[in-house]
A and B are shown apart, each in its own frame.
Chain A
Amino acid sequence: MKLLTKTSLNFISASVMFFLVGSIVMYFSVRNIVAEDLQNRLLEQQNEFFNTASQNKLEDLASEVIFIEKYQKELEHSFSDTVLIVNKKYMLYRKLQFSYLHNEQHYKVSILQLQSQSDKLFKKIVIMNVGFAMLFFLIVFFVNRQSIKNSLKVFYSTINKLEDFQVNKAQELTLDTAEVDEVKKLNVVFERMSEQIRKDFEAQKEYTENVAHELQTPLAIISSKADELMQADNLTKEQMEQLALLLETTNRLSKINQSLIFLTKIDNRFYTEGATFSLNELIKEKLVLFETAIEDKNLKLALDLKDATHIYMDPYLAETLVVNLLKNAIVHNEKGGELSIKLENKCLIITNSGTALTFSESDIFKRFSRSEHSKKSLGIGLSIVKRICELYGFNIEYRFQENHIFAIKFSN
C-alpha cells in the first residue's frame, strides 16, 4: 500500500469515527438546548399569565394555546407533550400545566407551545453543523493529501534513484535536496551508505587485482628461474624432465589463479556491458579457433545452427561461455568421437562422446571436479560457464545418455 493511501485511509477512518461520535453528541445537546428554550418560553408565558391574570378576567385569558379550567385541588406544575388536532392535522405541542388560585377557586392552567417550529430550528442547526463539518473534513482531507504528496516528492525521487543505483557504475548517487528534516536525514544516510558500498566495491576489485599481482609475480620468478636453469649444458635427462615439469606446473598454477580471479570478477558483477548477439554467428566464429583440435582428434562435427538465437549479454562473457563449452566438448572427447551443436527455440544443446564421468553428475559444475583420465584439465571451465548462466538467469543442465549432453535455455 502506498504511503499516501495509507495516511489517507488513516485520516478517513479517524475522521469518520470522530464525525459519528461528534454528530451524536451534537444531536443530543442541540436537542436539549431547543427543548430548554421551549420550556423557557413556556415559563415566560406563565409569568406573563400571572401578571395579566390579576388585572383581567380569567376567562378572557383563555385562547387557542391557553386552556383554563376549574380544578378541585392545587397541582404541581409539570411539563408534558400533547397532541392537538388543528385543521385535521396532528400537531405536537409542549404543554406546561400549573395551578392558579383565583377568588378562592383553584384553576388548572395549560399553556401550549407548538413544537414543530422548534423542530425546524433543530433540524436547521443539525444540517448546518453536519454540512460545515463535512466541508471542513473534505478541505482538510485534500489539503493534507496534497501537502503530504509535496513533502514526499523528494522521498519518492530518492526511491527511484536508489532503484537505478548500480554499485559498479561510475555514476555517483546524488539525491535531491529535501525540505523535510526526516527525508533530508534519510538522503544523507543513503548518500553516505552508497559511498561506502562503492568504496568497498572498489576496494574488493582492487583486492582481487592485487591478489593476482601478488601471486603472479612469484610465479613469474619460479618460471623464469626454471627457464634459466634449463639452459644449462650439463643437465641429466631426469633433471631436465623435472625442470620441464616445474615449468608446466607453474604455468598451470598461473592459469588456475587467473581463472579464479575471473570467477571472482563475475561474482562481483564486474562484467556488465551489454550487447545483442546472434549466438549462431558467435559459435561459428569460435569454432574456427578449435579447428586444429577438431582435426587432431578427428571429430565428426554435426552442426544445426540455423536458428540465430539473439541473446543480450556482456560480449566478453558471451565469448567465454561459448569457448568454455566448446573446449569442454572437444578436450574431453575421444579420438574419432562425435560433437553435435544444435540451436533451437532459444536452447543450445551440445552433445559430445567420451567416457562417463568418474564423479557424480551433480558435481559437474563444481570447481576442480574432473575425471581421473583428464588430469591436465583445470576443472574450472564449466564452473565459469555455470556462473555466467546464473548471472543472466539462463538454465543449464547436464546429463549423460551414452553421450555427454549440455543444454542451456537462453530465456530469463
Chain B
Amino acid sequence: MPNNHNILVVEDEWELAKSTLAFLSENGFSPFHAKDLKTARKLLKKEKFTAVLLDLGLPDGDGMSLIKEIKNFKEEIGLIIISAKDALEKKVQGLELGADDYLTKPFFFSELNARLKSVIRRLNLEVNQELACNEITLFPEQMKVLVHAKELELTAKEFGLLLYFVSNQNRVLSKTTLGEFMSSTYVDYGFTDDMVYTHIKNLKKKLAESNCKDYIKNVYGVGYKFTVA
C-alpha cells in the first residue's frame, strides 16, 4: 500500500543502500538514493521528502553538516541519523543539531521501519495519530490500544511490542531483533532474547481475551510474524 512518502537514503555503501531501498519500496515508501552529500543536496532541491536517512561518514564529508541545512530548508522533514559510530557525543551532537532519531549500524530493518514511522507520525500532526489494523487501533502518543473499539490494558512493554508488530506487518521478526528492540527502547539492561517469549505470550493472551484474531504467529521457533491477510 503506497503511502506517498518520499524518503531520501544518503548512504555511500551501495549494498546496504540497495537493501534499504528495496525494504522501503516493499513497505510502500518511495525511496531515493544519494551516495554522497553533493547528490543529496541536488535531490533535496528537486524533490519533496518526508524523511531523510542520513549516514554520517560520507566520501565528500561528514553528514553532520547536512542536518542543519535540511532542518533550515524544511522543518517537517524527518531526519534519522544512521551511523556506525556509536559514540555518545556524536549522538548528542546530532540530536542537538536537529536530528529526530539516531540509529547505530548494524540495525534491523524492522527497527528502522518502526522509528521511521514514529518520526513521520510525530512531524505530521495534521495526519491522524492513530494506527489501525483491522480490529486493533493504536494511539502511540497516549499509549492506548482499542480492540473492537474497547480499550485493552497493556503494560508499557507489551504496548511497545504490539506497536512494533503493527508497524512491521507480515514480516518475520527474529528473537534477536525483538530482544534488541526491547532492550534499547526500554533501556532494560537485563533483557535477554529469551524474555521476548514471556512478553509475547502475555500479549497474545490479552489479545485473545478481547476476541482479537491471532495475528502474531510463531515462525519455526526462531521468531514471530504479525500476519495480516
1/0 contact trace for A305-345 toward B, CB 8 Å? 00000000000100000010011001100000000000000
Residues of B within 8 A of A349 (CB): none
B3 at the interface (CB under 8 A from A): no
Whether a CB of chain A sits under 8 angstroms from the CB of B93 is no
Closest B-chain residue to A232, C-beta based? B172
Encode A207-225 as 1/0 by CB contact (under 8 A) with B.
0011011111101111111
Q: Which residues on A are within 8 Å of B, measured CB to CB?
A: 209-210, 212-217, 219-225, 227-228, 230-231, 237, 240-241, 243-244, 247-248, 250-251, 254, 258, 261, 286, 289-294, 296, 316, 323, 326-327, 330-331, 376
Q: Which residues of chain B in 69-124 are interfacial with respect to chain A, using CB atoms and an 8 Å cutoff?
A: 83-88, 104-110
* Contact status B220-A216, CB under 8 Å: no
**Residue B195 lies at the interface, judged by CB distance under 8 Å to chain A:** yes
- Asked if A323 contacts B189 (CB within 8 A), the reply is yes
Neighbour of B190 across the interface among A231, A258, A293, A376, CB < 8 A: A293
In the complex, which residues of chain A have a beta carbon less than 8 angstroms from the beta carbon of B85?
209, 212-213
Contact of A244 among B23, B107, B110, B174 (CB under 8 A): B174
- Select one of A241, A293, A327 contacting B220, CB under 8 A: A241
Neighbouring A residues of B20 by C-beta, 8 Å: 224
CA distance A217 to B83 in the complex (A): 9
| Contact across chains for A225 and B19 when beta carbons are under 8 A apart | yes
CB of A228 within 8 A of CB of B174, answer: no
Contact between chains at B105 and A227 (CB < 8 Å): no
Majority secondary structure, B binding face: mixed
6 interchain residue pairs of minimum CB distance = A293-B190, A216-B84, A244-B222, A220-B106, A223-B106, A220-B105
Contact A247 B190 (CB under 8 A): no
Contacts of A291 in B (CB 8 A): 188, 190
Q: Which residues of A contact B198 (CB under 8 A)?
A: 296
Contact of A231 among B171, B176, B220, B221 (CB under 8 A): B171
Q: How far is the CA of A223 from the CA of B23 in the complex (A)?
A: 13
A sample of 11 inter-chain contacts (CB < 8 A) reads A213-B85, A216-B104, A219-B105, A221-B19, A222-B106, A240-B172, A244-B222, A290-B189, A291-B190, A293-B189, A293-B195
Question: Is the Cβ of A213 less than 8 Å from the Cβ of B88?
Answer: no
For the complex, is B177 an interface residue (Cβ under 8 Å from A)?
yes
Nearest neighbor of A316 in chain B, beta-carbon distance: B88
| Bound form: Cα–Cα A209–B191 in Å | 28
Total number of A-B contacts with CB less than 8 angstroms? 124
Does B125 touch A at the CB level, under 8 Å?
no
User: Given the known A-B contacts A230-B223, A231-B172, A292-B195, are A216 and B22 also in contact in the complex, defined by CB atoms under 8 Å?
Assistant: no
Chain B residues closer than 8 Å to A230, beta-carbon distance: 172, 174, 223
B93 to chain A, nearest CB (A): 13
Residue with the greatest number of chain A CB neighbours at <10 A, chosen from B19, B176, B190:
B190
- The CA of A293 and the CA of B182, in the complex, are separated in Å by 13
Closest to B182 in A: A292
B174 touches A248 (CB 8 A): yes
Interchain CB contact under 8 A, A331 and B174: no
B180 is an interface residue with CB less than 8 A from chain A = yes
B13 adjacent to A247 (CB under 8 Å): no
A-contact bits for B1-41, CB 8 A (1 contact / 0 none)? 00000000000010110011011000000000000000000
User: Judging by beta carbons under 8 Å apart, are B16 and A289 in contact?
Assistant: no
- Nearest CB in chain B: distance from A25 CB, A: 75
Alpha-carbon distance A154/B187, docked complex (angstroms):
53
User: In whole angstroms, what is the CA distance A237 to B223 when docked?
Assistant: 11
B195 to chain A, nearest CB (A): 6
Is the Cβ of A213 less than 8 Å from the Cβ of B189?
no
User: With the chains together, A96 CA to B87 CA distance in Å?
Assistant: 106
Q: Which residues of B contact A212 (CB under 8 A)?
A: 84-86
Given contacts A217-B84, A244-B223, contact A290 B106 (CB under 8 A): no
With A221-B15, A240-B219 as known contacts, state yes or no: A227 contacts B87, CB within 8 Å.
Answer: no
Q: Which residues of B contact A219 (CB under 8 A)?
A: 105-106
Output the nearest chain A residue to B170 by Cβ-Cβ distance. Answer: A231
Are B105 and A217 in touch, CB under 8 angstroms?
yes
Q: Which residues of A contact B188 (CB under 8 A)?
A: 289-293
Determine if B222 and A327 form an interchain contact, defined as CB atoms under 8 angstroms apart: no
Q: Which of B16, B177, B221 contacts A247 (CB 8 A)?
A: B177
Q: When the two chains form their complex, are residues B176 and A248 in contact, meaning their CB atoms are under 8 A apart? A: yes
B144 an interface residue at 8 Å Cβ cutoff?
no
Distance of A289 Cα from B220 Cα, bound (Å): 31
Alpha-carbon distance A231/B57, docked complex (angstroms): 29
The answer to whether A228 touches B86, judged by C-beta atoms less than 8 angstroms apart, is no
The reply to whether B220 and A240 form a contact with Cβ atoms under 8 Å apart is: yes
Q: Closest B residue to A265 by CB, please name it.
A: B87
Instruction: Give bound CA distance, A88 to B192, whole Å.
Output: 121
A289 touches B189 (CB 8 A): yes
Measured CB to CB, the closest approach of chain B to A330, in angstroms, equals 6
Q: How far is the CB of B212 from chain A (nearest CB, A)?
A: 24
Return the contact of A228 from the options B22, B180, B191, B193 (Cβ within 8 A): B22
Query: Closest residue to A213 on the B side, CB-wise?
Result: B84
Task: Determine whether B206 belongs to the interface, using a CB cutoff of 8 Å to chain A.
Answer: no
Contacts of A244 in B (CB 8 A): 174-176, 222-223
